[in-house]
Amino acid sequence: MLWLNPTGLLAALCIALLLEWCWGEPRRYHFLVGFGRLATGLAQRLNRGAGLVLRGGLAWLILVGGALGVFIGLRWQVMQYSPLLAYALDAWALWFSLGANSLLAHVAAIGTPLMAGDLPLARAQLQKIVSRDCQALDESQVAAGAVESCLENGADAIFASLFYFMLLGGAGALLHRLTNTLDAMWGYKTPKWLHFGRCAARMDDALNWMPARLCAMSYALLGKTRLALTAWRQQAPQWDSPNAGPVMAAGAGALGIRLGGAAPYHGQIELRPELGFGPLASAPDIARSIELIQATLAWWLGVMVVVLLFAMVIHSG
């Protein structure tokens, strides 16, 4: 962040948040649509034959490195003529990378029918954002799935993008969002993707390591702190994902509920460790998880503004 103009970054942050607040993610001409098509086409060409780990790494480098190269080159060219337009590009990159409105709207769409007793509709809404089989889930399992998605995707879709924006501007936000997208497309432990998607999965783990722990600490501070820290320390290491574990354990503890446990995936029951303490998740906990994300976002934005204002004072001096 120090090599960028803090005044420009603050302006870009405000513009991106205004766009996110008013419109959410772009509904038309979303960059991720074209990026996803390129990723699919490249995977069809490279995900075969020998050396799949190296082929997957090359695919990640082509897609993410190529997109970042174009963005940085364009920003540098624009900066020569108009710094304002350069920071407008940063604002676009952050807006594109954030997914707060979309995430919270999807989670709320699960909670509303569940509160009204419409379990089939709640299952259908949950199925839109998770990979587990939702047809036979009971009310508590649907609520747990919604809360888990809210907590984990909040770290990925909101806080990690803000973290890298503060470090590297718009390029940092894009680096995280594109890597996270490739992990979502390729990072499966299935015969088709196990080797080819390894680089994307490892890069996503590496990029999310610090933001996930800052997010987990934020959840803990804004909820039931002692339970959150205990769950993080005792239960997170049992979770498969090195980043989802701390986030979901701290979030479950902060809310005072239990998440995890058995869940159906691809026709089989996966026995996952339990996270958190207290009663099983229920419909009202979905709204509570949304409130926790909103409180965490307000906390992060407050800290970011203070840091940028302090940097502006140093920069002007």
124-169: pLDDT as tens digits: 999 999 988 999 899 999 999 999 999 999 999 999 999 999 999 9
**Burial class (CB within 10 angstroms; exposed 0-12, middle 13-18, buried 19+) of 268:** exposed
Give the mean pLDDT of 264-274. 86
pLDDT of residue 28: 64
> What pLDDT shows up at residue 198?
96
Sign of CA dihedral 13, 17, 19, 24: positive
Mean pLDDT of the chain: 93
**205-228: average pLDDT:** 98
Least confident range of 95-104, 118-127, 216-225, 288-297:
95-104
pLDDT at 23 over 60: yes
pLDDT at 317: 64
Helix axes 6-23, 100-115, angle to 10 degrees: 30
Give Cα 258 to chain centroid, integer Å. Answer: 22
Q: What is the pLDDT of residue 314?
A: 85
**Is the pLDDT confidence value at 56 over 70?**
yes
Query: What pLDDT was estimated at residue 1?
Result: 45
Residue 75 has pLDDT above 50, yes or no: yes
The whole-number average pLDDT for the span 185-197 is 92
Share above pLDDT 90 across residues of the chain, in percent, rounded to a whole number: 83
Tens digit of pLDDT for each residue in 82-131? 999 999 999 999 999 998 999 999 999 999 999 999 999 999 999 999 98
Supply the DSSP string of 79-94, one letter for each residue.
HHH-HHHHHHHHHHHH
Query: Could you tell me whether strands 268-276 and 258-265 are parallel, antiparallel, or unpaired per DSSP bridges?
Result: antiparallel
Q: What is the pLDDT of residue 2?
A: 41
Q: What pLDDT, on the 0 to 100 scale, is given for residue 193?
A: 95
pLDDT band at 263 (very low <50, low <70, confident <90, very high): confident
Among the residue ranges 91-95, 175-179, 189-193, the one predicted with the least confidence is 189-193
Task: State the average pLDDT over residues 275-295.
Answer: 97
Q: Tell me how far apart the alpha carbons of residues 12 and 6 are, in angstroms, rounded to a whole number.
A: 10
Lowest mean pLDDT among 23-27, 231-235, 277-281: 23-27
HSE-CB at 225 with a 13 A cutoff on CA atoms is: 4
User: CB of 282 within 8 A of CB of 140?
Assistant: yes
Q: What DSSP string describes 278-297?
A: SSBP-HHHHHHHHHHHHHHH
Kindly tell me if the per-residue pLDDT of 232 is higher than 80: yes
Close Cβ partners of 124 (under 8 Å, ≥ 6 residues apart): 134
Q: Which residues pair with 203 in a beta bridge?
A: none
Instruction: Report whether 261 contacts 119 (CB < 8 A).
Output: no
- Contact indicator for 110, 126 with CB cutoff of 8 Å: yes
Which token pair is 101? 């409105």
Residue 187 is classified by DSSP as -
Residue 254, pLDDT above cutoff 80: yes
For residue 229, which amino acid is it?
L
Percent of the chain with pLDDT over 70: 97
Q: Taking Cα atoms as reference points, which of 282, 294, 307 lies closest to residue 111?
A: 282
**How many residues in total does the chain contain?**
317
Residues 6+ apart with CB under 8 A from 19: 91, 95
239: three-class secondary structure by DSSP? coil
Indicate the DSSP class of residue 24: -
Query: Cα separation of 269 and 267, whole Å?
Result: 7
Closest CA to 274 of 224, 238, 246: 238
pLDDT > 80? residue 285: yes
pLDDT number for residue 27:
64
Q: What pTM was estimated for this model as a whole?
A: 0.94
Q: How many CA atoms lie within 13 A of 92 on its CB side?
A: 12
At residue 42, the 3 state secondary structure works out as: helix
